[in-house]
Structure 1
Amino acid sequence: MSNDVAYPVFRGPDPVLALGVARRLVEFGRREDSRVSCYAELHSVDEVRRGARELPEGWFRGQETAEEVEELVPFEDLPAWLVGVRGPGLPADPAAYEGRLPVDYELLAQPVGGVEDAFTAAIGPSVGEINWTELSWPAAPGAGFPGESTHAEVTLLLNAGTRAYEPADDHTVLVHVRSAVIDGREREEPYAHWLAERAGLTVIGPGQRV
């Protein structure tokens, strides 16, 4: 089983500009069956309500309380929205969110171009990401790389600098390639540089893994 490594190629305070940069990379490897998924951590009731209003088609899931975790309460006995509901299924009472934050949001495997703008506009101060998959990076014969599809992805981190969702005041674009460590070094790192250059970008930091 192989893994990916993602290299930052852009970082800036404007989410719309960051989205445009990510799209340049996506178009370089886009296929007919390419897909995009969105994720967010919503840390306040206001953020949850904004997400439910502007992104109702996604799935929202609250957290179990410490007591529920300790007592191993089965899923069927938990409030339904902790298992996952669409936006209209979220509780209206602010008290229902006590001990339940952050609320996780996800919208998976959507057609490219259909949800990215709305998600970027709605994210506000929340930490999240847009992840494009099912891409296909072209071959770089001069650099010795035959192309890549299994680990050809682009990620836009919103209000985060790393894939661990460390909060930040700006937004980061990552290009993914296959991870192949030989003698302590990533063999595919030059491929990431080559891909970035094709989109007028440069690698600006070390590779990130999850």
Structure 2
Amino acid sequence: MGNSKAYPVFRTGDAADAYRQAGRLCALLEHVDDRIWLFAEMRTPREVRRMAELVPGVPFDYEETREDPATGHFLLFDLDVATLDDAELRTHLPLSFKEDVERGDVEERFLTALGEGMAAIEWNGRWPDDPEADSYGHWNYDGVQVVFHGDEAQYGDWTEEHTVFVHVTKHGDLPRARKLAAHIGSDVLGEAQLGW
């Protein structure tokens, strides 16, 4: 199997523009899965509440590893955020969640719920075959990803900017990535990164 190669093809300080360009790229996919992957890091009680409303019942995790001081065991966040007041919720921040959900209007609602933490939307699919360029779609690897407040497909360090990635075969496909970037008036903005 292995991981896809993720090429950064668009970067901006405007989250809505990054989302819009990712949508333009998704429209080029021959097939888009019915489910998408969401990731969000929440730094304030307000951000937690907005995301909890967006994806009811989603399990939250501590963003940073926490240990029980008495036992040294890792702590899991297993509280219902709806039952905590803001002061109590602040003691658990930052929180995060990762969840696959049904595609549809959730993407736009997710965009409006974004806070200052890192977040991402991932659309898996399949690029169309392009025999002239010796480029073929791959079900396990192809897709589009937008990382808000980040420039790494694997969610590295926080940045001011938002980055759109195209994912291709594990062997890489720079010509396809360049063609996709050109479709949105851009170019490949760096080396291929480890994808999903």
Percent of residue pairs identical: 29
TM-score, normalised via structure 1 length = 0.78
Please state how far the C-alpha of 1:56 moved relative to its aligned partner.
Answer: 4.3
8 A contact 1:58–1:106 mirrored in 2: no
Spell out, residue by residue over 1:92-137, the C-alpha distance to the aligned partner (whole angstroms, 9 max, x if none). 2522542x322112341312x321111111112121001111x110
SS at match of 1:142: helix
Counting only pairs closer than 5 Å after superposition, residues 72-83 of structure 1 correspond to structure 2 as 72=73, 80-81=78-79
Residue 204 (structure 1) aligns with: 189
Confirm or deny: 8 A CA contact 1:127 1:165 kept in the other structure.
no
SS in 2 for 1:29: coil
2:138 maps to which of 118, 128, 148: 148
SS where residue 66 of structure 1 aligns?
coil
Equivalent residue letter for 2:118: V
> CA, structure 1 residues 58+91, in 2 after alignment: closer, same or farther (shift >3 Å)?
same
Instruction: Decide whether aligned partners of structure 1 residues 192 and 70 sit closer, same or farther in structure 2, where only a CA change above 3 A counts.
Output: farther
Q: Which residue of 2 aligns with 1:183?
A: none
Correspondences of 1:98-113 after superposition (within 5 Å): 98=91, 100-111=92-103, 113=104
Q: How many residues align?
A: 192
Report which of the two has the higher share of helix.
1
Query: What secondary structure sits across from 1:130 in the alignment?
Result: strand
Following the alignment from structure 1 to structure 2, what is the Cα–Cα distance between the partners of residues 9 and 198? 10
List gaps (5 residues or longer) in structure 2: none
Q: How does 1:24-103 map to 2 (within 5 A)?
A: 24-31=24-31, 33-53=33-53, 55-57=54-56, 59-63=58-62, 65-67=66-68, 70-72=71-73, 80-81=78-79, 88=82, 91-98=84-91, 100-103=92-95
Q: Which runs of 5+ in 1 are unaligned?
A: 181-185
Give the greater-gyration-radius structure (CA).
Answer: 1
Distance change >3 Å, CA 34–CA 202, structure 1 → 2: farther
Q: Which residue number in structure 2 is paired with residue 20 of structure 1?
A: 20
